[in-house]
Structure 1
Amino acid sequence: MAEVELEYVNSFIDSRGKRRYVFRRRGHKRVTIKGHPGSAEFMANYHALLEKSGGNSPIEIGASRTKAGTVNAVAVALFKSDAFLKGLAKDTQRPWRRIIDHFREFKTPSGRVYGDNSIASIQTKSITDFLEGKTANAQKNSLKAIRFLIRFAISKGHLVHDPSEGIETVKADGPRSHGHMTWLEPQVAQFRKRHALGTMARLALELLLNIAARRYDAHLIGQQHIREGKLLWRPHKTIRTTGKILKIRIMPELQAALDAVPSEARADGVLTFLVNDYGRPFASAAAFGNKFADWCRAADLEPVLCDDGRVRNYRAHGLRKAALTALAHAGATGVELMAVSGHSSLDQVQVYIDEVEQESAAEAAMMKLAKVSEIKTATSSD
């Protein structure tokens, strides 16, 4: 494997004669990176450290050593492009970069890695070979990332057609996953009992439950978003798509939680409703999610074995699902649900309506059966 030059990475020979690689950036702790520069594992760790230490650095992954038109060269250009850096959310950039790096390191039967090959030589079989053996979900995500790379190559004139067209990923075995656990009233009541009004944990629950916000948006919403008794904000997930702005009334439960939090809980000048133990805004949505998980554990919310065989815990996103389910039970239409959730299509909220309609229809059917049974019993007693 050719040596790859990476910014902030230094190497040395240890006492055992083995070459080691260390990530060094001014103002940050030195970290040893396992593996060899250019490998998928190494690059994933490198990019994580780079972003953690500040990011926004010119990441030319061996650019001076790659030949124009190769998979490596196209990947290098993609990672520096506006299409990647501005067109994709950071939560999408990280996993797609890892997938593309894995694709570059994938070996042909002759032992040559894809990255050294011309992008024009990539055929449909090249992609299906890369997908072989992966789970259904991994295949789906991998194909999205590879297609993004290929379409970028087409836009730059390196390819004429898309070799990924027509590729079908495998279907998942067993029951379909329903994702995060939807909170039910017993779990909400248990959380409220453990975390009283005036605590940040209680405010987090009421915020998520009353406006059906995503975790990312919830940790950023604050005083600056209040307009005439309502919260007005643009969901992060819609910034690059519809640009939809949501305006939702502050319900009494949420207002009570806001009023109960003492002003000294937040540092001076902090506007966000949710803050960490130091009174500062959470560093990221993930940091908030981790804290919320701690609050769930403190409330003794037990994990649940789901019908797809996976064990899941009650977490922040499950409250968004609970909020939409409650709205559907209250008779909200699909359009009304979209107005609260920020979803862009009716199909995305129809699942909540279908669930409520199934329950209502089943209850009506059983009531009819009960009525017939009562008539039979009364007739037989006569």
Structure 2
Amino acid sequence: MSKQIHKAYKFRVYPNEVQKVFFAKSFGCARFIWNKMLADKKEHYQLDKKSLKNTPAQYKKEFEWLREVDSLALANVQMQLHQAFQHFFKQPNVGFPTFKHKGKKDSYTTNNQKGTVAIDGSFIKLPKIGPIKANIHRSIHGLIKSATVSKSPTGKYYVSVLVETIAAPFPKTQSNIGIDLGLTDFIVLSDGTKVANPKFLSKLQNKLARAQKIMSKRALVAKKDNRKLRDSKNYQKQKLKVAKIHEKISNTRKDFLHKQSFNIVKNHDIIVIEDLNVSGMLKNHKLAKAISDSSWSAFTTMLSYKGDWYGKQLIKVDRWFPSSKTCSGCGHILGKNELKLSDRSWNCSSCKSENDRDLNASVNILNEGLRCLKLKEPLVQGS
């Protein structure tokens, strides 16, 4: 059965000088309103112990330059700040909203009102600025709801168009799969398939370290000359080189995760995965960098929403389930200290079978997920 979903399409845009100035003003105003509203909320609560209901409109009299940008961009900041507070109060492990800084995640969001946001050929039309040249590399189908304009640390501009569309479910394959996430192999599937860990950060780590070292030296030179970093051309050039390396790592990682998650969702009906506590695992400083590079959380999120889009089911088994220590053949469970992290295979003392650590875990994860689903026991389901 087809389902109505919201899907984002991201396009690179090439604004002219006038449009770049407008974007810079919009980024600045959106950042200012966020910081101003957040600061006033904090001050008001400290004085009266009550929540302040402030809006962008009340600041326009004092700061008239706020009228130069799209009013919907400022209204969306208010909504985003409200959501940030809701997440802080209702969701565990979510921090208090923080102030925004110039040059870090510069963006603003506007809404489509009767065609104010539209795609026309090789141009994207936005409110108050008109058509902008864009690389429309894929067609979109559905109603455009909003658009988010952003600028990357490397100076590239993008527009992410949010579309309300219909997603048709994938055909059923009558195949279920269990997934074990790892560091040696990125994933090991219960059918025996292993996907190697690309280790995007590790491959460019030396190049990144050299570039960052040069950037640090140029920052020290600028400091000795009593020059601000934004006025040091050599520092800014090197900063751009560092940003490009980070961008390459991020883009290749996202591409890999999207392809892997799409293939799994397309080829399997029920997908079972462990509900890992990634934030807790990152506290292990010996493995933190490798875990971050693997992006398990992003991969799980992709499986969740793509499964929801295309009529597949994602099940997360309890993180305390001993998937690695349980023999998938006879069900025998190893003792507390019988399996080390360095052990990649082990022999079952009960049925004498040899178990590949990761493959055995993925089979156990699949069986546990199907067992809980059949008995309707408590589990975490992707939605």
TM-score, with normalisation over the residues of structure 1? 0.25
Q: Say which structure is richer in helix.
A: 1
Larger Rg: 1
- The structure with higher relative contact order (CA 8 Å, sep 6+) is 2
Structure number with the higher strand fraction is: 2
